[in-house]
Amino acid sequence: MLAQAGDEADWIRQSLANIALATQERDLYIFMGLAPRHLGKADLALSAKDLAAADAACPGWSPEGWSIDGAARILALLAAPRNRAFAERFKDLRRTADVAELIALYRGLPLYPEPDSLHFEVGEGLRSNIKAVFESIAHRNPFPRDHFDDHRWNHMILKALFVESRLTPILGLEARANPELARILVDYAEERIAAGRPVPQDLWIPLKPFRDDRAVAAILPREEAVQ
Amino acid sequence: MMLIDPHAHMISRTTDDYQAMADAGIVALIEPAFWLGQPRTFVGTYVDYLSTIVGWERFRAGQFGIRHYCTVGLNSKEANNEELAEGVMDWLPRFALKEGVVAIGEIGYDEQTALEDKYFRLQLELASELKLPVMIHTPHRDKKRGTSRSMDVCEEHGLDPGMVIVDHNNEETVAETLQRGFWAGFSIYPSTKMGNARMVEILRQYGGDRIIVDSACDWGISDCLGVAKTAQLALERGIPKETVRMVCYQNALDAYGQSGQMKEDDWLEPPTIDQRTLFEGNSILRGGREPHIETPSDRLLKNLLIE
């Protein structure tokens, strides 16, 4: 990222150093606002080596599709001193965030300390009506796979279907499949069929492990038939 | 013709309105922070309102292929609640640098009280510090004096008139606003502000230099097609096309573009990240194509006059 930042690399280094030493939040707020002004909003340039390093750091994690300003914002949040609970600072930033900031904040989830303190914050993001914000948690992000309980996992899958978001970029789709989700998905598929609406093409993926279940068996061939 | 509505309170409008605006050629609009028709009584509701206009409303507009910008500020009516005003002033700097914030506004006078004056001045200082343009709401009552006074105070605080848009002008205020070097906004709003036939006559008299047309549509009886109807009527009544393009598009872009947050490329060649996120689900602006503008709808052509 620093190479991509060109002449602004020094600005990033200096700002992060200031944020790390700051006794109040102002420097962090200002950095969050200035990041796109200094760095632009280009997609983060990632080499195969970078992607491999990301996957090694956290299996399945890929920063593909991140923007350079978003990556810088996450770095800044991670650079802030540990003088407040991480979740408290996250909330403070989240409640005044613009769309791009929300996306960046949630994309950074796999990198944050104290992940179990962030469940409320993650819930607020999942409830967002802004599809890109929802997808910043759901897609290419290992946090749900690693930290969600079944209830939250299942509702994330359902919401993805409901807002016409793809399931395939969700990590852990087969590993986290569970009987309750299978039951809900069968109901959902039947509801769609009854309404004469198309059944989302990804729906069969989390159903596959339960193909021996009677209700699943009844619906699965119809789903697979349309593939 | 591509159009910009630089004053539209979309938080109060329906998706039908967004669709009608997009069909009429609106490619970008600006949502000024204002009051909601009744006063807020908690600082927190004001903060969430600001959060909505930099977040959710921006996304909502994007679904119709319209770029949404906003201004943030403490409006003159709610400046009279000192406890609320102090709280809002603490939060404002955190919103002023959000993406798509193109000015501090709309600020100014309502009843011209001491508290309104205090917070108007504090916000002019904030705008100067952050090098942001200012959008001024001129009062409905005692308008002429209130408009002059707003400009006096801007000058007193050292603001460059080229960074200040004085909105809600009329036949009585326009000459002074232009003569002093400010941008002159006109809100085409039935009954209380400007009608579009009157607006056409102003364009005939003053030309297009530094004049900006907006709808100021909100929760009241107002028309989200104010800019489009004015453009149509002006062309029908013989105003040169270039003048219409300036007052319904270019001048707003030049004035608010001084924030660095509003560029023509935003709708003609949007960055890929914005195409993926803000324009998700919408094909109108994808791929940097010239916006597709439908033939004028019935909604535009019927009831063309706004009086």
pLDDT number for residue A79: 97
**Owner of token pair 């009429």:** B24
Tokens of A77: 């949040």
Of A70-74, B37-41, B80-84, least confident by mean pLDDT is B37-41
Q: pLDDT exceeding 90 applies to what percent of chain A?
A: 76
With 0-12 / 13-18 / 19 or more C-beta atoms within 10 angstroms meaning exposed / middle / buried, residue B30 is buried
Q: Which residues of B touch A30 (CB under 8 A)?
A: 97
Sheet of strand B26-32: strand arrangement: B3-5, B26-32, B67-72, B101-108, B134-137, B164-167, B183-187, B211-214
Beta bridge partners of B101: B70
pLDDT of B301 > 80? The answer is: no
User: Which of A64, A94, A99 has the most B C-beta neighbours within 10 Å, making it the best mutation to test the interface with B?
Assistant: A99
pLDDT of B288 > 70? The answer is: no
Contact in structure between A204 and A223 (CB atoms under 8 Å): yes
pLDDT of B144 > 90? The answer is: yes
* pLDDT band for position B167 (cuts 50, 70, 90): very high
Q: pLDDT exceeding 90 applies to what percent of chain B?
A: 86
The mean pLDDT value for B271-287 works out to: 62
Pairwise CA distance, residues B134 & A44, whole Å: 34
Pairwise CA distance, residues B231 & B239, whole Å: 9
pLDDT number for residue A178: 94
Residue A98 is nearest to which of B48, B99, B274, comparing CB atoms? B99
Q: Which residues of A touch B126 (CB under 8 A)?
A: none
**How do residues A4-27 score in pLDDT, each as one tens digit?**
988 999 999 999 999 999 888 999
DSSP conformation letters of chain B:
--EEES-B-GGGS-HHHHHHHHHTTEEEEEEE----SS---SHHHHHHHHHHHHTHHHHHHHTTT-EEEEEE---TTGGGSHHHHHHHHHHHHHHHTSTTEEEEEEEE-SS--HHHHHHHHHHHHHHHHHT--EEEEPPSSSHHHHHHHHHHHHHHTT--GGGEEEES--TTTHHHHHHTT-EEEEEB-TTTSB-HHHHHHHHHHH-STTEEEE--B-SSS--TTHHHHHHHHHHHTT--HHHHHIIIIIHHHHHHGGGSS--THHHHS--HHHHHHTTTT--SSGGGPPPP-PSPPHHHHTT----
pLDDT number for residue B289: 44
**Helix, strand, or coil (residue A182):** helix
pLDDT number for residue B129: 94
Chain A touched by B58 (CB under 8 Å): yes
Pairwise CA distance, residues B99 & A41, whole Å: 11
- Domain range list for chain A: 2-156, 177-227
Report for A26-30, A40-44, A58-62, A87-91: range of highest mean pLDDT: A87-91
Pairwise CA distance, residues B8 & B70, whole Å: 9
Tokens of A86: 């991480």
- Inter-chain residue contact B56 with A132, CB threshold 8 Å: no
Which amino acid is located at A201 in the chain?
A: Q
Chain A touched by B87 (CB under 8 Å): no
Pairwise CA distance, residues A71 & B273, whole Å: 13
CB pairs under 8 A between A and B: 65
Chain B touched by A64 (CB under 8 Å): no
The number of C-alpha atoms within 13 Å of B150 and in the hemisphere containing its C-beta is: 37
pLDDT of B302 > 80? The answer is: no
- Inter-chain residue contact A34 with B91, CB threshold 8 Å: no
pLDDT number for residue B271: 75
Chain B touched by A102 (CB under 8 Å): yes
pLDDT number for residue B287: 40
Residue B291's closest CA among B24, B61, B101?
B24
pLDDT number for residue B279: 72
Distance from CA of B279 to the nearest CA of A (A): 10
Tally Cβ neighbours within 10 Å of residue A111. Answer: 17
Query: What pTM value is reported for the model?
Result: 0.90
pLDDT number for residue B21: 96
Chain B touched by A130 (CB under 8 Å): yes
Residue of A nearest to B94 (CA): A29
Chain A touched by B255 (CB under 8 Å): no
**Helix, strand, or coil (residue A168):** coil
Instruction: List domains and CATH numbers for chain B.
Output: 3-282 (3.20.20.140)
Chain A touched by B33 (CB under 8 Å): no
How would you label A142-175 residue by residue, b for 16+ Cβ within 10 Å and e otherwise?
A: bbbbbbbeeeebbbbbebbbeeebebebbbebee
Pairwise CA distance, residues B110 & B107, whole Å: 9
pLDDT number for residue B293: 54
pLDDT number for residue A1: 82
Q: Which residues of B touch A76 (CB under 8 A)?
A: none
The conformational region for residue B108 under phi > 0 = left, psi -120 to 50 = alpha, else beta, is left
Residue A97 is nearest to which of B55, B97, B274, comparing CB atoms? B55
**Helix, strand, or coil (residue A97):** coil
Residue B227's closest CA among B66, B107, B76, B102?
B66
* pLDDT band for position B284 (cuts 50, 70, 90): very low
Chain A touched by B277 (CB under 8 Å): yes
**Owner of token pair 């009086």:** B307
Compare B271 and A6 and report the one with higher pLDDT: A6
Pairing of strands B3-5, B101-108: unpaired
Pairwise CA distance, residues B190 & B261, whole Å: 31
**How do residues B186-206 score in pLDDT, each as one tens digit?**
999 998 889 999 999 999 999
* pLDDT band for position B132 (cuts 50, 70, 90): very high
pLDDT number for residue B283: 43
**How do residues A152-190 score in pLDDT, each as one tens digit?**
999 999 999 998 899 999 999 989 999 999 999 999 999
pLDDT number for residue B286: 39
Distance from CA of B132 to the nearest CA of A (A): 14
Residue B54 is nearest to which of A70, A98, A129, comparing CB atoms? A98
Residue B300's closest CA among B241, B226, B248?
B226
Those residues with Cβ within 8 angstroms of residue A149's Cβ, 6 or more apart along the chain or in another chain? none
Chain A touched by B258 (CB under 8 Å): no
Those residues with Cβ within 8 angstroms of residue B126's Cβ, 6 or more apart along the chain or in another chain? B92, B93, B96, B104, B132
Q: How far is C-alpha B213 from the chain's CA centre?
A: 9
pLDDT of B290 > 60? The answer is: no
Between positions 160 and 189 of A, the ones with CB within 8 A of B are none
pLDDT number for residue B272: 76
Beta bridge partners of B165: B135, B183
pLDDT of A111 > 90? The answer is: yes
**How do residues B224-262 score in pLDDT, each as one tens digit?**
999 999 999 999 999 999 999 999 999 999 999 999 999
Work out the mean pLDDT of chain B and round it to a whole number.
93
- Inter-chain residue contact B51 with A97, CB threshold 8 Å: yes
Which amino acid is located at B197 in the chain?
A: A
pLDDT of A223 > 70? The answer is: no
Q: Which residues of B touch A28 (CB under 8 A)?
A: none
